[in-house]
Amino acid sequence: MTSAAEHPALAAIRGRLVVSCQAYPGEPMRDPDTMCRVARAVAAGGAAGIRAQGLEDLRRIRAALDLPLIGLWKDGDGDVFITPTLDHALAVAATGVDIVAVDGTRRPRPDGRTLAETVKAVHDRTGRLVMADVSTYEEGIAAAEAGADVVGTTLSGYTAYSRPGPGPDLELVAGLARDLPVPVIAEGRVHTAEQAAAAVEAGAYAVVVGTAITHPTTITRWFADRVTRPGA
Ligand SMILES: CC(=O)N[C@H](C=O)[C@@H](O)[C@H](O)[C@H](O)COP(=O)(O)O
């Protein structure tokens, strides 16, 4: 593990739960004050860190909570939408987050920069850590080589070439945790406490859970689909 593992924001989430607090465009909870309240609510339940999206959400959450904050900015309708450019990353860093999450795949970025150039510029200009959201083992290896401080399995199942599955990609978590010199965060489709525990068992440095804790529309649909009788 590199020295980044000793960074206080990383040390504070080691072996613990980070909760992603996000609402999507057009949804009733897409509102910075609401997301800030959700973040405070999950903090009260024991979240060791928060992951959130959007500059105003990040500013509000930063002001309200002293927990490690992973920030991103989803923008654009291209393939690369998680903090897609360096300018996005710098804006996220300026909100006061501890860790800037960026697309960590090898797909072309809208500003033409490589991941390595992006990571270096964030480090040099802001001193923040960078989390690379990847979808495959090869991308995880490349992201660590590009200088990412943390690698997340966030995009597994969300690129055209990665394996979609109903649950978390624990095989990817285990492979990257075994081979990377940087912390690996299990993120994506962790829907139960058992799966979260299994991710830690697989070697995850920390586990990020979003939908299953903070997205009531999806959670409701899970229940409604099981309860509603055919033809009802
Ligand atoms: C693919 C993508 O855009 N993932 C996003 C990344 O920030 C979020 O929409 C997810 O909610 C987050 O990764 C947590 O995952 P889950 O909600 O499955 O626990």
Domain count across the chain:
1
Domain that holds residue 56: 3-159+166-227
Residue 188 in contact with ligand 1 by CB distance below 6 A: yes
Q: What CATH number corresponds to the domain at position 176? A: 3.20.20.70
Cβ pair 106, 139 in contact under 8 A: yes
pTM: 0.96
How remote is the CA of residue 185 from the centroid of ligand 1, in Å? 12
Distance CA 9, CA 64 (A): 16
How remote is the CA of residue 7 from the centroid of ligand 1, in Å? 24
How remote is the CA of residue 67 from the centroid of ligand 1, in Å? 19
Residue nearest to atom 19 of ligand 1 (CA): 210
- Return all residues near 51 (Cβ < 8 A) that are at least 6 apart: 18, 19, 20, 21, 22, 69, 70, 71, 72, 101, 187, 208, 210
Residue 189 in contact with ligand 1 by CB distance below 6 A: yes
How remote is the CA of residue 232 from the centroid of ligand 1, in Å? 32
Residue 208 in contact with ligand 1 by CB distance below 6 A: yes
How remote is the CA of residue 188 from the centroid of ligand 1, in Å? 6
Answer yes or no: is 209 within a domain: yes
Answer yes or no: is 105 within a domain: yes
pLDDT at 231: 78
Residue 35 in contact with ligand 1 by CB distance below 6 A: no
Cβ pair 17, 206 in contact under 8 A: yes
| Residues in the chain where the model's pLDDT stays below 50 | 1-5
Residue nearest to atom 5 of ligand 1 (CA): 154
Answer yes or no: is 26 within a domain: yes
pLDDT at 5: 46
Which ligand 1 atom lies nearest to the CA of residue 154? 13
Answer yes or no: is 77 within a domain: yes
Residue 103 in contact with ligand 1 by CB distance below 6 A: no
Distance CA 190, CA 194 (A): 9
pLDDT at 163: 83
**How do residues 21-73 score in pLDDT, each as one tens digit?**
999 999 999 999 999 999 999 999 999 999 999 999 999 999 999 999 999 99
What number is the ipTM of this complex? 0.99
Answer yes or no: is 232 within a domain: no
Distance CA 50, CA 68 (A): 6
